[in-house]
Structure 1
Amino acid sequence: MDYQTMRTFADSWGLLFMVIVFVAVVIYTFRPGSKKEADEIARIPLKDEDGPNKDDKE
């Protein structure tokens, strides 16, 4: 494959593929019911299952 062939492919099918992936991600993000899942994922760093470290001095 030479440069021109790869460039032609990227300009046509590559662009189409990227547009389809973008639309799929947007639809997945804004689908009904995704707010609850996103809120649960956002709270993961704030969960303290084991309690505070005993070595921490506040």
Structure 2
Amino acid sequence: MPTALYDALRHFADSWGLLYMMAIFLTVVFFLVRPGARANARDAARIPLDDGAPRDREVGR
């Protein structure tokens, strides 16, 4: 790879790459602290423990 191309790509990554990663970070943080995220996180945490049976079905019938 020519040195000029490498320097150009490195400069682009140093400037716009940082902004891109910051935008991803802020999006993830917003997704985690938005209203209603607690219920979704609780449901996602229970996935490995779920046996696959529907929740509204009564036991014993």
Matched, 1:16 2:19: yes
For residues 20 and 48 of structure 1, what CA distance do their matches in structure 2 show?
37
Cα root mean square deviation, aligned: 1.5
Q: Please state whether the residue corresponding to 1:48 is helix, strand or coil.
A: coil
In structure 2, runs of 5+ residues without a counterpart are 54-61
- The alignment's TM-score, normalised by the length of structure 1, stands at 0.77
In structure 1, runs of 5+ residues without a counterpart are 51-58
Matched, 1:40 2:50: no
Q: Relative CO higher for 1 or 2, CA cutoff 8 Å, sep ≥ 6?
A: 2
**In structure 1, what is the equivalent of residue 29 of structure 2?**
26
Percentage identity across aligned positions?
Answer: 48
Residue 2 of structure 1 and its aligned partner are, at CA, apart by 1.1
- The alignment's TM-score, normalised by the length of structure 2, stands at 0.74
Give the letter aligned to residue 15 of structure 1.
L
